[in-house]
Structure 1
């Protein structure tokens, strides 16, 4: 979010990966469901918000949640990966461009669970909290009382 706030143009405008996210309210809701649901005993469940996003889609939606225009340059993903690899940042390229998805179909089916908070609502809440935190005065730790 800080990057979106400070930067005029982002170069991640053409990344077609897929990543699963989980909002804290959805995680809490699933944990609560598992505590109460008899079918949850001795099971392992994966959790996400139920909608996978590419890095480009995430930046677009996060920009919208922050009330900022999404100024994304459509640099081909292969160029970005190559450039980051050339400067010894291969791990960053993998995080930005790689897939990281989980399948929550077992969680949905066995527990009859649906994430209560949508991706867009979670991003809106996160952006709102971030913006409120920016407006709070910072404590000056250099002055001890």
Structure 2
């Protein structure tokens, strides 16, 4: 297949491009500046000026749209939501319009489980769950999904939407990287009494699913929620990472309610939710429709990634 990838320089993008190239696909990647790794045929440009390079979309079987605004710390934007909309919604729609004009067969939009919400209470999120985005990032992603669905509904370009939960790996950015660094210190953790249930997915597992969705005929017009199995608590994740790093893992029995109060006092409510709240994903639709098999050994994969992080 001929596959065009945006966001190829990112954590997921690098892993995806290596996988696609290894599978024998012809890969074209979009970058703002020349990359320092092998990623196929390189197109220099950005999403602010799609017309300048949109001719490279001609003849593509699939465009995988990974690029977006995320992991923004200490942003000084007066209107954070509008900043996310500009990149994650508007640029995505403009790219899809260019795909239609250039005859691209399939457009894969990587969204976020945040579109469904930031917490589950007893029932896992599925494709049938009502969207309830809270954060500006998730709101912009959901608005993009809606506009893309309308745009491509009667177009010759298929739309596939994927909403992954936390994507982890030894070189992951954002919150997972902060957790890796924290575990690597060997200091005691306050999660001994945390029994939450969180779905996560390894970058390798996600890339395998994206590659499958790029070529499977039954993926057309579908929304997929994907995650590895089984679900784990934060306590479980920390122990698995510590094992891989050969670190001691003392888990202090701090009541979750105390952690919640403390996080509120220091303005870190969202961090408490991510560390102590539950967020489960039901990926049975992807397994049933595409025959996808998620990784079913999350603990051992986490341990392996912890070992890679320590070695690097």
Secondary structure, aligned partner of 1:78: helix
Aligned to 1:42: 221
Aligned to 2:252: 73
Find the aligned partners of 1:117 and 1:35 in 2 and give their Cα distance: 23
Residue by residue over 1:103-124, the C-alpha shift from the partner in whole angstroms, topping out at 9 and shown as x without a partner, is 1010111112112463134213
Aligned to 1:95: 274
What TM-score results when the alignment is normalised by the length of structure 1? 0.81
More strand per residue: 1 or 2? 2
Following TM superposition, where does structure 1 have runs of at least 4 consecutive aligned residues deviating by more than 4 angstroms? none
**Deviation of 1:85 (Å):** 1.4
What TM-score results when the alignment is normalised by the length of structure 2? 0.40
CA change 1:116–1:93 in 2 (3 A) is: closer
8 Å Cα contact 1:50/1:104 also seen in 2: no
Name which of 85, 110, 116 aligns with 2:289: 110
Residue by residue over 1:47-96, the C-alpha shift from the partner in whole angstroms, topping out at 9 and shown as x without a partner, is 11122111111111111121222210011111111122123322222221
Aligned to 2:201: 22
Aligned to 2:192: 13
Name which of 57, 60, 84 aligns with 2:263: 84
List runs of 5+ in structure 1 lacking aligned partners.
134-145
Q: Which has the higher contact order (CA 8 A, sep 6+)?
A: 1
